[in-house]
Amino acid sequence: MNEAPAVAQDKTTGFIRGLGLLDSTMIVSGSMIGSGVFIVSADIARNVGSAGWLLLVWIVTGLLTIAAALSYGELAGMMPNAGGQYIYLREAYSPLWGFLYGWTLFWVIQTGTIAAVAVAFARFLGILVPGVSPNIWIVRPINVSSGYAVSLTSQQLVAILLILVLTGFNTRGLQWGKVIQNVFTSAKTLSLLALVLIGIVLGRNQAAITSNFNDPWTPRQVLTVKPDLPFLPVAAATSGALGLFVAFCVAQVGSLFSADAWNNITFTAGEVREPQRNIPLSLFFGTVLVISLYVLANVAYLVTLPLADIQNAPDDRVATATLKVILGDAGATVMAIAIMISTFGCNNGLILAGARVYYAMARDNLFLKSAGSLKGSTAPRSRHRRGAIRQSVRQFVGLRGLCGSHILCPHHRRSLHPPPHEAGCRQTVSRVRIPLDPGFLHRRRDSHHGRADPLQDANHLARIAYRFFRHSVLSRMAPGLSAVMMIFRPMENSA
């Protein structure tokens, strides 16, 4: 992975193209490796019930992930601009779909993942520091409905502080985020590799190998999959081919979640040097590296522990159980440190990349305007520092009602010419092979045939939806959503 020494600034956007192939690969693999691979194998084993099917779940997940990454690599090469999937949906199908994806990313996908990973960090910190616990209350549960309560524990406070610290680092500019990402991704990749080597070399247990691989395709001690729809029958891996197929698909929920977030590099495409070359390569190298380590980690589990021990690992901590067999009680401490390193680096990658989507949306007037500008260090200002504090105070204290006069403004329709920050993007979109003809999206209004311009119509709908959403009470609660999601939790977990 040879790196070009020059760091060029894109004059049309102000972004510095400071990410080389190694940096991009670190974002891909660092965003993928969180805490999932150390935990979800227990649930997968309970669903499929055999060593062979457990490994096959991870292999199929890897093939799906690599195929998706290669497809994204081609799209990123065609449209090397900040925004990633938002840009692809906007250009291929219309701004309306980009708008819906971008706000879903903001409200649920990215913020929810950041919150979950931060809680995982705090959870394993609690092994080293007993004062970080879900049972030590700072604010005791306050009931808001029959099923939910608002509360704050020391564990949640640590998770919130982690998000704020990493956000602060990334407001300093790309270089800060890049260095943190490279250091922690390298550390957790080596930690995962060490787990593989220790498990296969030092933890090799002949009794476990015999138990797991003498009959690797016969499910045993499996869970019953109960459908949400009452008219559908229950299924299990032991109930025939259909039941095994259903259990296999359900088992992939955990493995696919663990292999997610590889697309974050496309969000930062505007800051990658030679994006047409480096983004596809980084997606390929990063996903192949991570999936290989995931499969090998599960091999290490299987040669160390019998399948029953994997299925019944305390709190599903399969990696911790593996190291405890090899290293004794010190294994839990070693694994806690490794997972803390992993989740810290994972959240840094998520926070670094996510702001670029909101930047692209803001440049299209589909997000808060402050997110569409760059500060002196060329980091997007999305929800950062003083602006984040000011907006949070305004949104939680000074709520404003609907402003209907601003909702139906027709003069903000998008031009069919690309904006300056995406010069060259539209000219290549016709190369995207999608079922909907992209040329249809770019036809101008034809006065002779009376055909409407679908791009402008869809964009106008997106703007109407955005203006309504922006001036609603809900939009005032947007900043700090990850922290809010950790405070707002089900009652049964608050007792």
Render 380-410 in DSSP notation, one character per residue.
B-TT-HHHHHHHHHHHHTS-----GGGTT-G
What's the confidence (pLDDT) of residue 24? 92
> 382: closest CA among 158, 34, 117, 82?
82
Tell which CATH classification among 2.40.50.100, 3.20.20.150, 1.20.1070.10, 1.20.1740.10 matches the domain 12-400+482-493. Answer: 1.20.1740.10
Residue 326 scores a pLDDT above 60 = yes
What's the confidence (pLDDT) of residue 425? 43
Residue 426 scores a pLDDT above 70 = no
pLDDT grade, residue 394 (50/70/90)? very low
What's the confidence (pLDDT) of residue 4? 45
Q: Are 289 and 303 in contact (CB under 8 A)?
A: no
Over residues 154-162, mean pLDDT: 94
Tell me phi and psi for residue 284, to 5 degrees. Answer: -70, -50
Q: Report the percentage of the chain scoring pLDDT > 70.
A: 73
Mean pLDDT of the chain: 78
pLDDT grade, residue 371 (50/70/90)? confident
| Residues 123, 137: Cα–Cα separation, whole Å | 15
What's the confidence (pLDDT) of residue 454? 47
CA atoms within 13 A on the CB side of 99: 21
Q: What is the pTM of this model?
A: 0.74
| Residues 486, 139: Cα–Cα separation, whole Å | 13
pLDDT grade, residue 339 (50/70/90)? very high
Domain boundaries, the chain: 12-400+482-493
